[in-house]
């Protein structure tokens, strides 16, 4: 199957309310262009430097999604163009995004990453920490960020029951947290689901899937 075929098949299979982010990390610009020519506009990268290099040479109507763990000292390199930052998992990073957004005269859209997997290798906030963050005075003053929802990654296991439970947990957190009222908090997005588990994620309420290898083939590294 070609990238074009994969994109077309995937798009047809997704419900209307689910957005596809094509995860192009480690893949060459030519692969992204093929997906772009098939109509895909949202692409996900997990390394700042790689995203900047691709941004510079690719069409300017591409939406760039930062899906990886973000080091706050590198936010400045993507602040002028990034469309959505999925992996925010500390107040420190949020403050730095706010600062760089202000410098660029923008509001940067973010998702809070929640730790839903039992494995301890995954980054992310606990539910309680997010509740405290959203209720804090400090959060209300971050007027150059907008929290658009939550992001989560399920455990890398074959057990569908475990994956489904983790996605259910994220959806449940979303429903509770959306009652918070703050100008910079407008949750509409639940980013969950990758090549191996996006179908389960959609059944459990995902509104945004991040799919890489099912579109571009397996990666050689990373």
Ligand X SMILES: *Cc1c(COP(=O)(O)O)cnc(C)c1O
Q: What is the CB-side half-sphere exposure of residue 189 using CA atoms within 13 A?
A: 25
- Of the listed pieces 10-18, 104-112, 177-185, 191-199, which binds ligand X according to CB under 6 A? 191-199
Minimal distance, residue 212 CB to ligand X, in Å: 3
Alpha-carbon gap, residue 152 to 19, rounded angstroms: 15
Which of 18, 20, 22, 23 is in the footprint of ligand X by CB under 6 A? 23
**Nearest distance from residue 179's CB to ligand X, in Å?**
27
Minimal distance, residue 183 CB to ligand X, in Å: 28
End-to-end CA, the chain? 22
- The yes or no reply on residue 70 touching ligand X (CB under 6 A) is no
Which alpha helices (DSSP H) does the chain contain, by range? 3-13, 29-37, 48-57, 91-103, 127-135, 137-140, 160-177, 198-203, 213-216
Beta carbon nearer to ligand X, 78 or 211: 211
Cα distance between residue 111 and residue 150, in whole Å: 5
Report the nearest approach of ligand X to the CB of residue 182 (Å).
26
CB of 141 to ligand X, least distance (A): 29
Q: Cα–Cα distance between 148 and 116 in angstroms, integer?
A: 18
Stretch that binds ligand X, among 71-79, 136-144, 181-189, 205-213 (CB under 6 A): 205-213
Q: Which of 124, 149, 187, 212 binds ligand X (CB under 6 A)?
A: 212
Q: What's the rounded Cα separation, in Å, for the pair 47 and 133?
A: 26
In whole angstroms, how far apart are CA 93 and each of 39, 70, 86, 114, 130? Answer: 32, 8, 12, 14, 14
CB of 124 to ligand X, least distance (A): 11
- Range in contact with ligand X (rule: CB under 6 A) among 10-18, 114-122, 125-133, 206-214: 206-214
DSSP 94-121: HHHHHHHHHHTT--EEEEEEE--SSSTT
> Cβ of 67: how many Cβ atoms within 10 Å?
25
96-155: which residues touch ligand X (CB under 6 A)? 153
Q: Is 35 in the site for ligand X (CB under 6 A)?
A: no
Q: Does 24 bind ligand X (CB under 6 A)?
A: no
Looking at beta carbons only, is 68 or 149 nearer to ligand X? 68
* Chain residues that interact with ligand X, rule: CB under 6 A: 23, 25, 46, 67-68, 153, 194-196, 210-214
């Amino acid at each position: 199957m070609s990238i074009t075929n994969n994109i077309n098949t995937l798009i047809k299979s997704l419900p209307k309310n689910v957005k596809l982010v094509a995860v192009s990390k480690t893949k060459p610009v030519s692969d992204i262009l093929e997906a772009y020519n098939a109509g895909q506009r949202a692409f996900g990268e997990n390394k700042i430097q790689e995203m900047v290099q691709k941004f510079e040479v690719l069409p300017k109507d591409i939406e760039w999604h930062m899906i990886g763990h973000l080091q706050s000292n590198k936010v400045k390199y993507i602040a002028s163009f990034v469309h959505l930052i999925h992996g925010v998992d500390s107040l420190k990073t949020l403050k730095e995004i706010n600062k760089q957004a202000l410098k660029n005269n923008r509001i940067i859209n973010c998702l809070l990453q929640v730790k839903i997997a039992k494995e301890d290798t995954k980054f992310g906030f606990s539910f309680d920490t997010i509740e405290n963050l959203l209720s804090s005075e400090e959060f209300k003053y971050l007027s150059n960020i907008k929290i658009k929802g939550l992001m989560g990654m399920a455990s890398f296991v074959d057990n569908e029951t475990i994956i489904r439970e983790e996605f259910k947990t994220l959806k449940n957190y979303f429903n509770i947290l959306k009652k918070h009222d703050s100008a910079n908090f407008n949750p509409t997005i639940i980013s969950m689901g990758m090549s191996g588990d996006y179908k389960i994620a959609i059944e459990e309420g995902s509104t945004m899937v991040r799919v890489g290898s099912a579109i571009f083939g397996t990666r050689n590294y990373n």
